[in-house]
């Protein structure tokens, strides 16, 4: 439910009056349907989706968002036809080739998250290069979830924690929520305040399962290639008007 009036367009200046989310997570979904609706091959939708990502990153920098996590490829997306998977992996390379200098100049730290060593060699090479070149930037941390799955992330954390116990470095009594968080890809980052899913699907599709425990969800039927900064403004405006109780009650 949108809390803004249907007749009034929410402006950037409206959302800057209140605290912004520190961390926004987006499931970039709907590329295939966008292309199919236009009689185009699905890959055309992925190309259009990259353009949306560029605009949204720029807008996040403009309004000073500190962390943006985008779901680019899930551990389940390998089930897709080989050509589509290859195109997606090549798009990552193309995007980095084309945009890395600009991203770097804008102070963006590219932080790929997921089971990276299963990615094709060239994709891995480019994302490593992007991460290395931008590692000291601090304007916006851009977590790019590639071959990412929330369950896989928690599984690798459990393995590492068990290894520490086996090495005698920690005991089971040392395990608490903070410790588990430190073994996730997002260690030392705040959890997402706002999770956005375009394309109307009401599911999480294995994204950030641990981190979104108390994130505010915002779903729109707009497909990712049609998603504009204005939609992000609307999402943030709604977010700012939600009552985040974290299990407590508001006495006012
Ligand atoms: C999201 O768009 C991109 C990836 C999953 C890589 P989709 O390709 O899932 O688009 P739809 O959901 O089929 O429309
Ligand atoms: C989630 O979208 C993954 C990404 C956007 C990268 P999917 O299109 O893969 O999710 P499902 O299959 O609809 O759950
Ligand atoms: Mg999809």
29 as an active site residue: the answer is yes
Question: For residue 104, what are its two tokens?
Answer: 């770097």
What is the number of H-type helices and E-type strands within the chain? 8, 6
pTM recorded for the entire structure: 0.96
- Continuous segment of H or E residues that includes residue 229: helix 229-240
pLDDT higher than 70, residue 1: no
Question: What pLDDT, on a 0 to 100 scale, did the predictor assign at position 89?
Answer: 98
The residue-averaged pLDDT of 114-131 equals: 98
Question: Distance, CA 19 to ligand 1 centroid (Å)?
Answer: 31
Question: What pLDDT, on a 0 to 100 scale, did the predictor assign at position 34?
Answer: 98
Sheet of 23-27, strands arranged across: 108-113, 140-148, 67-74, 23-27, 194-197, 216-219
pLDDT higher than 60, residue 5: no
Q: How far apart are alpha carbons 207 and 74 in whole angstroms? A: 8
pLDDT higher than 60, residue 144: yes
Nearest ligand, CA 49: 1
From the candidates 29, 191, 193, 238, give the one annotated as an active-site residue.
Answer: 29
208 CB neighbour count, 10 Å cutoff = 25
196 CB neighbour count, 10 Å cutoff = 26
Give whole-number Cα distances, 62 to 13, 43, 238, in Å: 12, 29, 19
User: 116: pLDDT confidence band, cut at 50, 70 and 90?
Assistant: very high
Q: How far apart are alpha carbons 159 and 27 in whole angstroms? A: 27
181 lines ligand 1 (CB under 6 A): no
77 as an active site residue: the answer is yes
pLDDT higher than 60, residue 55: yes
Q: How far apart are alpha carbons 91 and 71 in whole angstroms? A: 14
Question: What pLDDT, on a 0 to 100 scale, did the predictor assign at position 4?
Answer: 52
The residue-averaged pLDDT of 40-45 equals: 97
Q: How far is CA 47 from the centre of its chain?
A: 18
27 lines ligand 2 (CB under 6 A): yes
Question: What pLDDT, on a 0 to 100 scale, did the predictor assign at position 80?
Answer: 98
Question: For residue 118, what are its two tokens?
Answer: 């299963």
The CATH architecture that domain 19-240 belongs to is 3-Layer(aba) Sandwich (3.40)
Q: How far apart are alpha carbons 199 and 188 in whole angstroms? A: 30
């Amino acid at each position: 439910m949108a809390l803004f009036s249907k007749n009034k367009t929410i402006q950037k200046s409206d959302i800057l009056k209140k605290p912004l989310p520190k961390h926004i997570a987006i499931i970039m979904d709907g590329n295939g349907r966008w292309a199919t609706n236009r009689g185009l091959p699905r890959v055309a939708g992925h190309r259009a989706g990259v353009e949306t990502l560029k605009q949204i990153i720029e807008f996040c920098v403009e309004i000073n968002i500190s962390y943006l996590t985008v779901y680019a490829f899930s551990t389940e997306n390998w089930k897709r036809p080989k050509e589509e998977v290859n195109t997606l992996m090549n798009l990552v390379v193309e995007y980095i080739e084309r945009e890395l200098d600009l991203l770097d100049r804008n102070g963006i730290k590219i932080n790929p998250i997921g089971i990276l060593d299963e990615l094709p060699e060239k994709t891995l090479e480019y994302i490593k290069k992007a991460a290395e070149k931008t590692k000291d930037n601090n304007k916006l941390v851009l977590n790019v979830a590639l071959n990412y799955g929330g369950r896989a992330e928690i599984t690798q954390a459990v393995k590492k924690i068990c290894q520490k116990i086996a090495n005698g470095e920690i005991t089971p009594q040392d395990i608490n929520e903070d410790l588990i968080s430190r073994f996730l890809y997002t260690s030392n980052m705040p959890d997402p305040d706002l999770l956005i899913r375009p394309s109307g699907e009401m599911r999480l599709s294995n994204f950030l399962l641990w981190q979104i425990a108390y994130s505010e969800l915002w779903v729109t039927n707009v497909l990712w290639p049609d998603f504009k900064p204005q939609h992000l403004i609307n999402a943030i405006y709604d977010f700012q008007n939600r009552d985040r109780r974290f299990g407590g009650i508001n006495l006012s």
